[in-house]
Amino acid sequence: MYDLHAHILPGVDDGAVTPEDTLAMSRVAADTGTKVVLATPHRKDVTEDWSVAYLRSLIADMNLQNLADGVNLSLVLGMENHLDTDLPGEIEAGRALTMNGTRYILIEMPFFGRPDYIEDTLSEVQDMGLVPVLAHPERIEAFQRDPDMLTRFIEKGMLSQITSNSLIGFWGEEVRDFTCCLLKNGMAHIMASDTHHATGGRSPRMDVGLEAAADLIGYDAALAMLVDTPKAILEDKTAEIETPRRASTCPKTK
């Protein structure tokens, strides 16, 4: 499997703290069927305290560490980019990273509220030739209140990434039900772990999410969210996705 959202680099954000944490997370991922993890530190933390060059050196070091410890997992570099009006400029400046250097970019919408720059800034990013991949829409209030906003974004060419633990109720029943509904309506394109720790509810395990998704949409469609589509993204190929159905029937959680 391919995990495209993970806070696995040590010491740069609220995920792994030490290289030992990174190793433990890598081991759990590898042992549960993941072979590539896109490290996605928060853009804000990197811009304020670190640099892209430092991230690249960390990726190289952590891959060497995995190799030395016999953990069969490769790490590649991305970033979780919070959406604000400076994002297009930061992409231009090389401080906001796409996913493994491809046209795809992981974007986290504001968790609360619906600031009026959302549509325009996402359009600006698309006008740069990039494809926004919206991080965990099931946890974003604007989508919870208005699921059809997500449908419209997908119709404009954006993709959505649900989190494995949302499907098994880590964020509560309402988020779980909303996630199931997005899945059944063809509005979830990839599943990722958004891991922060080696163990517990935010571990890198995606096998549990795969199982839960398979119960809802069938094994092949579920597996495509964890293998075919994320692999196409990392290789900068066109992701084959189905046409979304209107999600207005999904339970509103707010």
**CB of 3 or CB of 194, closer to Fe ion:** 194
Judged by CB under 5 A, the chain residues 58 through 87 that form the site for Fe ion are 80
Q: Do 199 and 235 contact (CB within 8 A), yes or no?
A: no
Number of residues binding to Fe ion, judged by CB under 5 A? 2
**Quick one: CA dihedral 131, 146, 120, 140, positive or negative?**
negative
Judged by CB under 5 A, the chain residues 17 through 46 that form the site for Fe ion are none
**CB of 40 or CB of 253, closer to Fe ion:** 40
Shortest spacing between CB 69 and Fe ion, in angstroms: 25
The contact pattern for Fe ion, residues 181-220, with x = CB under 5 A and - = no contact, is -------------x--------------------------
Q: Do 12 and 55 contact (CB within 8 A), yes or no?
A: yes
CA distances to 93, 137, 166 from 88, rounded to whole Å, are 9, 21, 29
Shortest spacing between CB 127 and Fe ion, in angstroms: 25
**CB of 182 or CB of 185, closer to Fe ion:** 182
**CB of 105 or CB of 186, closer to Fe ion:** 105
Give 35: exposed, middle or buried? Use CB within 10 Å, 0-12, 13-18, 19+: middle
3 counts as binding Fe ion under rule CB under 5 A? no
**CB of 21 or CB of 194, closer to Fe ion:** 194
Shortest spacing between CB 192 and Fe ion, in angstroms: 9
**Residue with the CB atom nearest Fe ion in the bound state:** 194
Shortest spacing between CB 7 and Fe ion, in angstroms: 6
Shortest spacing between CB 17 and Fe ion, in angstroms: 16
**CB of 13 or CB of 224, closer to Fe ion:** 13
Shortest spacing between CB 81 and Fe ion, in angstroms: 10
**CB of 168 or CB of 217, closer to Fe ion:** 168
Shortest spacing between CB 245 and Fe ion, in angstroms: 27
Residues contributing to the site for Fe ion (CB under 5 A): 80, 194
